[in-house]
Structure 1
């Protein structure tokens, strides 16, 4: 338990920080792709769908799972708080509230990672669907 007590914040924040870095990187890549998008490059709908939807699964997975990583950090933090209370035999309100408030910051960070991730995902999905619709309407006769 001393290992978890000392490193749980670093582990959870490291994971959530990595997740947010990945989402920001992939979000910027998608933004650049859609800014530079040229429909003329594509003669096949299948190739277009592959290109416009690239990396969207990863962004969506991170957005939907970041709150669970934060929740895991909170649960482990609460377990550590109760364990420390049991070991010390002390039930001081200040130590309990401090331990619980520190544990809840993991959930807050998980939500903080999830919301922008899902916003980026939804905007990218909308941009992809728009490009696909335009392509299909322009190539309906062919």
Structure 2
């Protein structure tokens, strides 16, 4: 249990940090792609749609799973607090509250990552709809 106690925060924060870095990379990549879309490069709206949707699944996976990774850290942190309580034969209230509040930081970090990525995902989904509409008008499909 000592090993778990020592490395749970490091592992959970490393996973959430990696998720944040990947999300940032995907967001920057999509912004640059949307900025440089040229309709002349695409022969059909399906081809453009495939290009527009690239990497959106990665953002979806991150925003939907970051809270669960944070929750896992919280649950393990609470388990460690309960283990310490049982092993010591009793703890003062202050130690229990500090341990529980530290365990909750993983869930907070998971939400801090998930909420902005969700907002960006929805913004990109709307941008994709607008680009596809403009493309269909450009090629004369939608009048």
Q: TM-score, normalised by structure 1?
A: 0.96
- Asked whether 1:72 is paired with 2:79, we answer no
C-alpha distance in 2 between matches for 1:96 and 1:69 = 23
Which sections of structure 1, spanning at least 5 residues, go unmatched? none
Deviations 1:20-53 (A, max 9, x none): 0000000000000011111121121111011001
What secondary structure sits across from 1:37 in the alignment?
Answer: coil
* Runs (4+) off by over 3 Å: none
2:107 matched residue in structure 1:
107
Q: Which residue of 2 aligns with 1:25?
A: 25
Q: State the number of aligned residues.
A: 142
| Paired residue secondary structure (1:113) | helix
Once the two structures are superposed, the pairs formed by residues 1-142 of structure 1 within 5 Å of their partners are 1-140=1-140
Whole-Å separation in 2 of the counterparts to 1:6 and 1:89:
21
Cα RMSD (Å) of the superposition? 1.2
Question: Structure 2, unaligned stretches of length 5 or more?
Answer: none
Paired with 1:107 and 1:136, the residues of 2 have a C-alpha distance of 43
> In 1, distance between residues paired with 2:135 and 2:43?
9
Query: Secondary structure in 2 aligned to 1:115?
Result: helix
Secondary structure of 2:37's match? coil
Q: Secondary structure at the match of 1:82?
A: helix
> Which string of whole-angstrom CA distances, capped at 9 and with x for unpartnered residues, describes residues 38-92 of structure 1?
1121121111011001000110110011001101100000000000110001231
Residue 141 of structure 1: how far off its partner (Å): 5.0
